[in-house]
Amino acid sequence: MDRVTTAVTVERPCEEVFDYLADIANHAEFMVPLFKDWHLTRVNSYGRGAGARFRSTARMDRFGWGELTFLDVQAPQRIVAAGRGGKYNRIETSWEWTLEPQGSGSTRVELVFESEPPLPTDKLVETLSGRRAWFRRGARKSLQQLRAILEQSPRGKRRGVRASVAGL
């Protein structure tokens, strides 16, 4: 899939937005338009090495399970993650969240997503299924939901559903 980029401005300081995003368990709360059934891959959900498995909300997605692991976490401006999904987990994905201070306590959050289907049939399925448009819409809604969560909830207060370790 070609690169998908979307951004939103959140009326919160960069450090607060980064702390929320660096905890992968929080992603289950705002990524609802794209993914569901989140499960952590380790007990520590914060920072480098934190990971999760989830299922796509796309219609008729037979191989909707995917995974995501934080590879590089540079406070308070950047989080880089890699994952896999699709049939036999063979489609590699890359994610990057970039945070930029926008003055007066607001932060611009940009999400860049890209997938690398290895087989021509995988590329064809992505093209014919409208996966790029579905992801772009879902990513935009997810970032709007992130903004709503951070702007409406007091810092430190539990905001909603978080991912947990499978079986716990």
Structure token digits, residue 52: 């999760």
Separation of alpha carbons 68 and 45, rounded Å:
12
Helix and strand element counts for the chain (H, E):
4, 8
The predicted structure's pLDDT at residue 122: 83
Residues 6+ apart with CB under 8 A from 103: none
The domains located in the chain, with CATH, are 4-163 (3.30.530.20)
pLDDT, tens digit, 9 for 90 and up, residues 58-71: 887 778 899 999 99
The predicted structure's pLDDT at residue 158: 53
What are the φ/ψ torsions at residue 136 (nearest 5 degrees)? -60, -45
| Strand, helix or coil for residue 94 | strand
pLDDT, tens digit, 9 for 90 and up, residues 18-55: 999 999 999 999 999 999 999 999 999 999 999 999 99
pTM over 0.85: yes
CA 33 to centroid of chain Cα atoms: 11
CB-CB contact of 55 with 80 (8 Å): no
